[in-house]
Structure formats: structure tokens, C-alpha cells
Amino acid sequence: MKKYQLGEFEEIVILTIGILNNRAYSVSIKDEIESRLSRTVSFGALHTALKRLEEKGYLKSFVGESTDERAGRPRQYFEITAMGKKAMRYTKDTRDELWKAIPKTVWQANLTC
């Protein structure tokens, strides 16, 4: 169980990186999350999450081009590693299993409320 741990925000970040595919760097990830999920993301939270994911080995980063609007600072692109993919898959699978295990009546009961 401990094998693939992914927090809620981390999951969102790694999924977004998957969506962005090769174009994933912090600003684009932030914009993507903000537009898709309509929630604000601070650089602080994002960078901490990215750093942690990288430390866990789910992400790999490489240095990209630098632009003028970045005051000459390079972009740091992210890419999901094989282990990251496994972790995503694992998370999804466990969630699906849990979904399946919920009795149908729960939904009906909820509806009557």
C-alpha cells in the first residue's frame, strides 16, 4: 500500500502534467489546473508538490529554454517517469475498485434524501 503514495494535489499535478505532455512546466501546469478546475494554485504549493513528486521518482525534470519574459531564467520541464505512470495507474485502479465496491443502494438512498 505504501508503495505508490499520491496526495490529492499531487495527483492533480501529475495528471495535468500528463495532459500537457511535453509542455509541462510550472506556469503552464498552474494555468492548466486553474482553468480546468477553477481553483487558484500558488507557486509555493505547486513547487513543493513538484519537488516532492520528483523526489519520489514519479517525475523527471529537464532544463528548457529561457525567454525574455522569464528574465533570462530557464524553464524546468517535467515528464512523468515509468514509476509515475505506475503510480497513476495504481491510484486509479484502487479508486475504481473502491467505486465498484459501493452498493448501488447508497446512491438511491442518497437520492431520497
Partner 1 sequence: MSKRVTSAPRLFLRFFRWYCDPKMHGYIEGDLMEAYHARLIKYGKRKADMQFIVDVLLLFRPGIIRSKSEYRNLNSADMIKSYFKTGVRYLWRSKLHSILNITGLTFGIVCFLLIDLYVFDELTFDQQHTNAERIYRVVEHKNVRGEATTIAAAGFKLAEESKTSIPEVESTTRMQRIGRANLVDPENPVPFQEDVTIADEHFLELFDFPLISGDKHTALKQPASIIINEDLAMRIFGRTDVMGKSLEFSFLPLSLKITGILKNHPRNSSFNFNSVMSESTAHNSDWFKQLMGSDWASNAFSVYVLLTPHSNPDSVSKKMTRLVLSNFKPDEGTKLSYSLQPLKDLHLKSANIIDGARNPNVEGIPQGNPLYITIFSFAAMFVLLIAGINYTNLTTARASSRIKEIGVRKAIGATRSNLIRQFLFESWLTTGIAFVLAIVVASLVLPSFNQFAHKQLSLFAVDYRFWAYAIGAVVIIGLLAGSYSALLLSRFRPVSLLKGLKIQSTGDLSVRKVLVVFQFTICIVMIIGTIVLLLQVRYLNNTDLGFNKDLMVVIDVNTGAARTNFEVIKDQMSKVAAVKSVSVTSRVPGEWKSFRTVRISGEGTTDEQRVSYLIGADKDFMTTFEVTLLQGRNFREAYDSSNIIINETAARMLGITEASEQTVEIASVSPGGAFETLDVPFKPRVIGIVKDFHFQSLRDKIQPLIIAYNQNPIHVIDYYSVKIAPTDIPGTLEKLKGIMVNSDQRDPFEYHFLDEQLALFYVEDERRQTLLGWTAFATIFIACLGLFGLATYSTEQRVKEIGVRKVLGATIPGLVSLLSRDFLKFVLIASCIAFPIAWWATHRWLQEYAYHIEVEWWIFVLAGALATGIALLTVSYQAIKTAFSNPVDSLRSE
* Joined grid coordinates for residue 25: 512546466
> CB 61 → partner 1: shortest distance, Å?
8
* Joined grid coordinates for residue 49: 508538490
For 53, other C-beta atoms within 10 Å of its C-beta total: 25
Half-sphere exposure of 6 (CA within 13 A, CB side): 23
Residues 18-37 as x/- pattern, contact with partner 1 by CB under 8 A: -------xxx--x-------
Residues 76-105 as x/- pattern, contact with partner 1 by CB under 8 A: x-----------------------------
102: which DSSP letter?
Answer: S
| 5 binding partner 1? (CB under 8 A) | no
* Joined grid coordinates for residue 19: 495532459
Which residues of the chain form contacts with partner 1 (CB under 8 A)?
A: 25-27, 30, 42-45, 47-48, 51-52, 66-71, 73-76
